[in-house]
A and B are shown apart, each in its own frame.
Chain A
Amino acid sequence: MKNEKPLILPIKNIITENDRVKTFVFEYEMDFQPGQFVMTWIPGYDEKPFGIVSRKKGEFMITVAAVGESTKALHAMSAGDLVGFRGPFGSAFSLPARPAGGPDSGSIALIAGGYGMASLFNLAKEAREKGIDVHVFLGARTKEELLYLDWMKELGAVLHLSTDDGSEGYKGFNTDLFKNSVNGVILSETKNPSNHGSFADAQDDNIKFDKAYTVGPEIMEMKVAAICYKNNIPFELSLERYMKCGIGICGSCSVDPKGWRMCVEGPVIDGEKLKEITEFGKYHRTASGKVDPYPWTKTS
């Protein structure tokens, strides 16, 4: 059941992930599918979409970076303070279809950057529960910004880590790790083998991914999409657009040229549909509706 009017919940507890990011825990059974989002009302400030994470029944979490006025206000809150939730809304990720009862349950790749892991965590959890091998290509600026490492180890996901500064894993982009893994090339990616999950000793070369999933900055998603198209790997991604209503009527998150609403037909889009979204990787719209080209499309 989705909450139409903001459902008001007290913050149960707050996990400090690093000096910019906190995870807020709420005691409530959020009936969601991986990839969906909740419109999160920070009373007096704003309401924004966040991915939903749940590690156990009767509890869910959102992970938020303090980047603007409203998220800073949320960071200043304490346990017991009230936050409102509408949702869950939007489309969800789907696991690859495998022949029932087959010996091999298959393997998926999750490529996450920034806070993208928040939208992918429960997909990883669901996949592991079905016996699917989960390879997580997690990228961040520094070691401190790599999210949920312990939780993913607990799930038994294979972690391929990268940081911009080389403070953990491969120094560079997680998309390079993914590309090399698809091509059967092993980069010296792991400084600390203990980051690997329960089947860490498995050979990583010649991994045949049944499906890939990516959430993060659009430039990263573009690179993943290109790798997947080139190698014929089916994939899904979450396409973030400015949202106002979250319920499909205001038109703010409609994408060109089909008009699909990223709060209803999205945010999860598969590789075939993505081919029809011509604005992907090129521009998005601001709160006024004005087209705002991405910096990398502007000629220098």
Chain B
Amino acid sequence: MNLSINLAGIPLKNPTILASGIMGVSSASLKYCEESGAGAVSCKSIGHAERMGHHNPTVYSWGQGLTNAVGLSNQGVDEGVGLLKEMIETLTIPVIASCFADTVDNIAKVAEKLIASNPVAIELNLSCPNTENDFGLMFALDTDATTRAVSQVKKIAGKTKVFVKLTPDASNIVDVGKAAEAAGADALTATNTLSGMIIDIHTKRPILTNKFGGLSGPAIKPVSVRAVYNLYKAVKIPIIGTGGINTGEDAIEFIMAGATAVGIGSGIYYRGIDIFKKVTDEMSVFMEKNNYSSIEEMKGIANI
């Protein structure tokens, strides 16, 4: 079965993309995902300065999904530029450069340095829910901040496509998606994790050291599917559907809602590093059985 897609002009052999924040610390960890069948990978978000992240516990499974507050640990953009270059050279599939910053000006500065390595796409992580104390509110909660960040980066992006990662915490994710599109975004990633909190009643405290964390995995899939469904109606640019994809059927559900590609992250916990191969195999089986011959054919067909 041919699962190839075209994502904003970037050809992918299959629609599975390693979501940013998962693996992605080194080129070796991304290569491992490539060898496990991913169609593309995203590096872990790179910011202007080195960050150690929050103290553990930073990630765990709580039953219906995972929660995390890793806290954007990264080497900082000056080392990150070399790292990104190495990732692009080591992998044969597209590498999406994820980046974040504390201010709109800084995200443009970080993006500019990364774009110099010519990644096929840069993903603006405007929606990490775990760094409020350091950085204030997420840009992607707000249409104005999103517009400013996207248009500044778009000005300097050259051939590099600009993707925008949205948050399900926004009061209206569709408005933010439309603002990103109007500012020149080439694709949207929907969604980042959903903010949440889990308290241990024995020790009487939140388990994550950061107290709050981003929920991911099966629990948030319906939230993300809804976001993709509504965004698909409102924007023309492609959408990377992300949130709780564990199976080929899950991926197809996102595609039928309107996604062009799918992000996989927590699924690595549930099904192993070879989830990419499992998901694409399962998609092929479904498509054969139901007489679909391409991903494109299924895109948005549930969007009624």
Q: Is the CB of A244 within 8 A of B70?
A: yes
Q: Across the two chains, which residue of chain B brings its CB closest to A265?
A: B273
B77 to chain A, nearest CB (A): 12
B52/A254 in contact, CB under 8 A: no
Q: Which of A254-300 contact B (CB under 8 A)?
A: 254-261, 264, 285-290
Assess whether B61 is in contact with A259, with CB atoms less than 8 Å apart: no
Chain A residues whose C-beta falls within 8 Å of the C-beta of B202 in the assembled complex:
8, 82
The answer to whether A249 and B268 touch (CB under 8 A), given A4-B62, A5-B61, A8-B202, is: yes
Is A252 a contact partner of B25 (Cβ separation < 8 A)? Answer: yes
Tell me if A114 counts as interface (CB < 8 A to partner B): no
In the complex, how many angstroms separate the beta carbon of B131 from the nearest chain A beta carbon? Answer: 14
Is residue B158 within 8 Å, beta carbon to beta carbon, of the partner chain? no
Q: Contact check, B75 vs A248: say whether CB atoms are below 8 A apart.
A: no
Contact B32 A259 (CB under 8 A): yes
> Does B57 lie within 8 Å of A39, measured CB to CB?
yes
The answer to whether B44 and A289 have CB atoms under 8 Å apart is yes
CB pair A254–B25 under 8 Å, yes or no, is: yes
Q: How far is the CB of B63 from the nearest CB of chain A, in Å?
A: 7
In the complex, chain A residues whose CB is within 8 Å of the CB of B209 = 46
Closest partner residue, chain A, to B49 (CB atom): A288
Q: Is the interface of B mostly helix, strand, loop or mixed?
A: loop
The count of chain A contact residues (Cβ–Cβ below 8 Å) is: 40
B203–A257 touching, CB < 8 Å: no
B12-40 to A contact mask, C-beta < 8 Å, 1/0: 00000000001111101111110000000
Docked complex: B254-304 residues within 8 A CB-CB of A: 265-266, 268-269, 272-273
> Once the chains bind, are B75 and A290 in contact (CB under 8 Å)?
yes
User: Least Cβ distance of A65 to chain B in Å?
Assistant: 18
A288 touches B32 (CB 8 A): no
**B55 close to chain A: CB less than 8 A:** yes
Q: Which of B62, B75, B265, B272 has the most CB of A within 10 A?
A: B75
> Do residues B28 and A44 form an inter-chain contact, with CB atoms below 8 A?
no
Q: Is the CB of B59 within 8 A of A249?
A: yes
Residue pair A250, B50 in contact (C-beta under 8 Å) = no
Residues of A within 8 A of B29 (CB): 251, 254, 259, 261
B266 to chain A, nearest CB (A): 7
Complex: chain A residue closest to B204, CB-CB: A43
Among the interface residues A4, A41, A255, A290, which one has the most CB atoms of the partner chain B within 10 A? A290
Flag whether A48 is at the interface (Cβ < 8 A): yes
Cβ of B230 within 8 Å of any chain A Cβ, yes or no, is: no
Complex contacts, A259 vs chain B, CB 8 Å? 23, 26, 28-33
| A47 sits at the interface (CB 8 A) | yes
The A-contacting residues of B in range 66-88, CB under 8 angstroms, are 66, 68, 70, 73-76, 79
Determine which of B25, B61, B269 lies in contact with A285 in the assembled complex, contact meaning CB atoms within 8 Å.
B25
Residues on the A chain within 8 Å of B63, using CB: 4-5
| CB within 8 Å for A288 and B203 given contacts A5-B63, A248-B268, A259-B30 | no
Residues of A within 8 A of B23 (CB): 249-251, 254, 259
Question: Would you call B118 an interface residue if the criterion is a C-beta within 8 Å of the partner chain's C-beta atoms?
Answer: no
Tell me if A211 counts as interface (CB < 8 A to partner B).
Answer: no
The interface bits of chain A over 152-175 (1 if a CB of B lies within 8 angstroms of the residue's CB, else 0) are: 000000000000000000000000
- Rounded to whole angstroms, the CA-CA distance of A249 and B59 in the bound complex is 9
Of B23, B29, B50, B61, most A-chain CB atoms within 10 Å: B29
With A244-B70, A249-B22 known, 15 other A-B pairs at CB within 8 A are A5-B62, A8-B200, A8-B202, A8-B203, A41-B57, A46-B56, A46-B209, A244-B58, A247-B59, A249-B23, A250-B22, A251-B25, A251-B26, A288-B52, A290-B79
Listed by A's residue number, 5 A-B pairs whose Cβ atoms lie within 8 Å are A4-B60, A248-B273, A288-B73, A290-B75, A290-B79
Interface residue ranges, A against B (CB under 8 Å): 4-6, 8, 39, 41, 43-48, 70, 82, 84, 86, 244-252, 254-261, 264, 285-290
